Chain A
């Protein structure tokens, strides 16, 4: 799939945002809330990250002015659900933030709101992952690892950001989560690599019994929308580089820096976000759509 910047930003920024919010709400719930200032900073950060994500996913639409229509099909569409959940999750987020900042005094509602915020964030990240995981036509996405991974990356990168805001209280947990996320990423790749080639061109053509099919004349001389959108060619060298970047910046380096107590936590967060973006770039670039079987792939 073509790794478009808009979707990369959408998923990584909102993942980081919801991850951060998960940490904040969880801290509130287990009784280790950060200071008011820290909470407000977390919430503003969450708000900004999630909003950048949403905006970036909206502006690339053909008709951003009709984006509201996307809330209507929650019964079947994970994208619609994601939209609804992200809007709903703004509720607790804004509530907690305002309550603290403006000192509104609805403190009894903080915990219930934190519960809602926590669940909302997890569900939102889940719906995001399901947008991809529900697509059978893209085998690299159509599996549980995408769901597990999205949560793991959100929570671990959110954890890094939380350290930046809240301090080093949970840094060991975050390191553990980063390593867990690393593991899921590796297992995801193992899964993808193992399942590569499960669909054959002959299946796509409905002619598995006619021997081996190879493309003869393309339908059109120049590339069309489908090839531009779904025909991304990732060269193995690039793949290797990006995989190491993703692993290194997304998980290993942040874990290491946290481990040695590197003091500039915003830098760690940025490195982690960079790693997440590399991971997401790969997420798209590595995922092959089965439509390519009609074009240039023998199997996917």
Chain B
């Protein structure tokens, strides 16, 4: 057949979501015929989700921007004039040059679903502003921070259960996660094994939770109690992996017990800064030598100077055997029955200690001890935003990690496994910038990084924030992903200061990624009464589509679709890969843009060159990467030999990890299906926090600075440093308004506390928790423009337990008002059984703003679908009476899921319209929108011909 001859296949990386699956794009006559999963790709191994397959419709969306735009009407109107790229770039350059010359921090750069943070963060640092972050702060930073500060890795996509071997898998609060396809593949495997049990802890029984062998419909925000109760059960019954604790965690480390002193709660160390233990054999406090020492885990000892010390583990015992996790209390708060908690603890212990997995494999630990086996405790966990998006999420997540440590179930066969380049030191050795640069200078560090104590905070001499979003301040010290959700508010309020240019990339901040849409819009449209200028004077935005945010920008830099550009999924950024192999990948353009659009990364490099930023121009001021992003990907070196891409480095392309730039590197990637995979040796696969061979490899590859072992923290000394500061110790002191908070929330041992809304609203004024979930087939707001995906869901409902609804006289499909202290939204309800009775929920980001996304004005997305964001707020009055961010007090994680609401049946049931209904933005009409779409129509093809040729391809 001739038809097939015309088909060409190009590999690249999907970007219908952030999971980064490998795809093969089939092209026929210059149009996309079919997108399939790349069978060899480490992320997805051939599978593809609904979004991935619908990439065709995304690529041809009528909402695609076609040219740079300059605002001509008022902000929000959607009145634009098309301008040339030359003009757009000079406007942007002039605006930015002026800021840089005056005060670089007055340029704020916030990026949403950015997969090139290694570039955008670097650009910001070179520009001199530390007001940079991506979306992580409102996304899942609690998971990242808790993991990285506890075990040097984390859930999220930085680790995964050993899907092939685990025998007991418990998943907390996951609807989709970033690892969409790997998790689905993994759960599929788990469910195919009859002897493996999978428990889902989730207030809602859909998706992954639907197929769990046991569903625990927990009350939102109370997981810490449940986990704490499991920990207590295991401790009380001595079902603990003592050996794991003494070897690999800081359980035996001696903690100074000297209340009131500046060292109270810190580790005792010898002169060489080595940690100490009480050696039972020597009956003395000595340096801890793993494998040799016989350390005590319990007891009270004295240092030579008489200071009282206790092993860190003792603090764990004191926390968890206290009455905080007493079963009847836990049952009452979580809704999980005490007998179930007891049973689950028993099942877990049974699997961990009676069904251990042994792999005969010689390996040597970092302390020089040789082992013949890897011992795995096949109990595994995964958790995401159901834990993260609560104000106690950091602590809850730490608690899950503690449970893993107690079971000895970290990085062993059958348990949670790190994905390289993790594990990393706790925390990784990369400091955040503490301040912006002086005019014309560059930042001393990249904006985001990992503080290791109060001295690393981004605060001024009064202890007040230097960052616009107040990340790394005394209010949110470990806000390692920034706090994008505060950026618009703070820029509007001029708190801590005003900015001149606010640039956004790939973030729909005027809609679904703001907690408080009405106010977000206000922040962008409010004018200064004195000057008549907008309070946020200039907004630059790069989107590829006509989203709700586009109308609010002054300058639009239209991006390509993901099939039209180069990209890198870099080890310097959010890595891909599996437990067995490190990997990175690229995107290559498979189609030429047919519009006047440019890849944003090219634009960033061009901007940098025009501004003459160091690293982006040579000594003569010429662009260093005239070829754009692909040029940069190949030739840029972050450190000698370290570039954005790890594969085929060195001039001849034979080195991996580190090596000189290789001009054929991209070609190599393409030949290999657009990814690079580096498999670990069998002896390097487990216990990597203390696996000598692995750590050497990691150092060689540039993932670690040195092969020192990573000690897992049951006890977090750094948090205690903050606590001590709040107690008045040390040079770095919090402002008084932050003291009480730090004291309350910074504890070396994980503790559970109820989230504020639950305490505030115990009066039953707002009796229900309101949650959102990601639909598997939609990516936030951008799925709704997709001709295929929107057929699956173009309207969302508020799902409510039928008993809760009938108690209130609410019928199925009634319109109700959902009210919170912050706002209200009118929605249609649907009954459901599989939901915690105190919880209502809906799908995220189905509702759209009328006029956006080039959809018909009567689309269900505008009329009936809604955002829950209207009842959430980015600001709250906290328990200390101050107005602060609705965020985790440690990490600044946006606490979307703490929302509490009440529901009331709407008086008028006939209207069939959601509310609030914002003024429509101007309709986008740059593309034809067919009434009937017959994609792929081939009028040449007849059925008989086609059928006759099936399987008979000899005439090819």
Contacts and interface: CB of A to CB of B under 8 A. Distances in A.
> In the complex they form, do A and B come into direct contact, defined as C-beta atoms under 8 angstroms apart?
yes
Interface of A: 216-217, 219-222
Contacts of A219: 792
Contacts of A216: 206, 832
A216 B833 CA distance: 9
B525 interface: no
Contact of A220 (B206, B791, B832): B791
B813 to A, nearest CB: 12
8 contacts: A219-B792, A221-B790, A221-B791, A221-B792, A221-B795, A221-B860, A222-B791, A222-B860
A3 B794 CA distance: 28
Which of A216, A217, A221, A222: most chain B CB closer than 10 A? A221
Interface residues of B, number: 9
B259 to A, nearest CB: 55
B279 to A, nearest CB: 59
B915 interface: no
Contacts of A222: 791, 794, 860
A221 B794 CA distance: 6
B699 interface: no
B773 to A, nearest CB: 12
Query: Which of B206, B790, B792, B860: most chain A CB closer than 10 A?
Result: B792
Nearest to A219: B792
A109 B206 CA distance: 74
Contacts of B239: none
Nearest to A221: B794
Contacts of A217: 206
B830 to A, nearest CB: 9
B93 interface: no
B493 to A, nearest CB: 39
A221 B859 CA distance: 12
Contacts of B791: 220-222
Nearest to B796: A221
Given A220-B791, A220-B792, A221-B791, 7 more contacts: A216-B206, A216-B832, A219-B792, A221-B790, A221-B793, A222-B794, A222-B860
Interface of B: 206, 790-795, 832, 860
Nearest to A224: B791
Nearest to B831: A214
Closest 9 CB pairs of A and B: A221-B794, A221-B795, A220-B791, A221-B793, A220-B792, A221-B860, A222-B794, A216-B832, A222-B791
A217 B791 CA distance: 13
Contacts of B206: 216-217
A222 B861 CA distance: 12
Contacts of A221: 790-795, 860
B216 to A, nearest CB: 19
A72 to B, nearest CB: 16
B355 to A, nearest CB: 30
A106 to B, nearest CB: 45
A216 B793 CA distance: 13
A295 to B, nearest CB: 15
A272 to B, nearest CB: 40
A208 B319 CA distance: 49
A186 B795 CA distance: 43
A221 B861 CA distance: 10
Contacts of B795: 221
A217 B794 CA distance: 12
Nearest to B860: A221
Nearest to B846: A221
Nearest to B791: A220
A222 B791 CA distance: 7
A220 B792 CA distance: 4
B525 to A, nearest CB: 32
A207 to B, nearest CB: 14
Nearest to B797: A217
Nearest to B792: A220
A220 B791 CA distance: 6
A217 B777 CA distance: 13
B549 to A, nearest CB: 25
A6 to B, nearest CB: 22
A221 B797 CA distance: 11
A217 B860 CA distance: 16
A275 to B, nearest CB: 35
Nearest to B843: A217
Nearest to B795: A221
A48 to B, nearest CB: 36
Nearest to A220: B791
Contacts of A220: 791-792
Contacts of B794: 221-222
Contacts of B793: 221
A43 B832 CA distance: 61
A277 B795 CA distance: 38
A222 B860 CA distance: 9
A220 B777 CA distance: 12
Contacts of B790: 221
A212 to B, nearest CB: 10
B853 to A, nearest CB: 16
A57 B792 CA distance: 33
A217 B843 CA distance: 11
B347 to A, nearest CB: 24
Nearest to B802: A214
A222 B832 CA distance: 20
Nearest to B861: A221
A222 B794 CA distance: 8
A222 B795 CA distance: 9
A220 B860 CA distance: 12
A216 B210 CA distance: 12
B30 to A, nearest CB: 31
A205 to B, nearest CB: 15
B295 to A, nearest CB: 53
B834 to A, nearest CB: 8
A86 B464 CA distance: 91
